[in-house]
Structure 1
């Protein structure tokens, strides 16, 4: 199973999916580092790192495209740089939860996707 101590979750306690992923991690014997990304917005470099760990270059993979703010900011046609800047400035647009372990990550929607990293 590897070392479960190197797990981090970008968590929003108001989100049922995020709470579910955190609970599932606990059931798997993992006590992750919890980052409340809405309170401590990730930097652009951290966002780039998450994309690398997810195995993608597309920031829409971690973007809540259904949010009103996404439409208000006109991000549907935004290029990669503009989208990353918007995510760093408006962390509410970041999909949740994101679980990181080592050099890999998952967007835990549904929460059971954390098993891909842990089991």
Structure 2
């Protein structure tokens, strides 16, 4: 089943949700700020996205700038930061089987439906 890691306060995430609804395909919504992914789940998401952990970080968030910017962090430390502060996770993330995308721009979601 398709899964979207969603933050309702984010317009890109809301747009991704609309795209999924319009697709007519069944999907699951994960409100990741309430249901924070575990280290293992984040590692799996990063693997599916085929990116480095730092590429999943919202680097303009105040939390990142105040606590982590300009530090030499390992991949494990970056993942731990996202678990501790899920607001740092880019959104929306859409997973369909063994394919995943960050829905920025929203149209990228269509490539895995």
Same fold by TM-score, threshold 0.5 exceeded? yes
Aligned match of 1:26 in 14, 21, 46? 21
The aligned counterpart of 1:62 is 56
**C-alpha displacement of 1:32:** 1.4
- In the comparison of the two structures, how many residue pairs are matched? 112
Residue ranges of structure 2 left out of the alignment (5+ in a row): none
CA deviation map 1:41-99 (0-9, x unaligned): 1001000000111122x112211011110011124422211111000111000000000
Cα RMSD of the aligned pairs, angstroms, is 1.0
The aligned counterpart of 2:9 is 14
**Contact 1:70 / 1:76 at 8 angstroms: preserved in 2?**
no
TM score, norm. by length of structure 1 = 0.89
Distance, in Å, in 2 between the alignment partners of 1:107 and 1:20 is: 12
Residue ranges of structure 1 left out of the alignment (5+ in a row): 1-5
Local SS of the residue matching 1:40 = coil
TM score, norm. by length of structure 2 = 0.94
2:74 counterpart of 1:72: no
Local SS of the residue matching 1:30 = coil
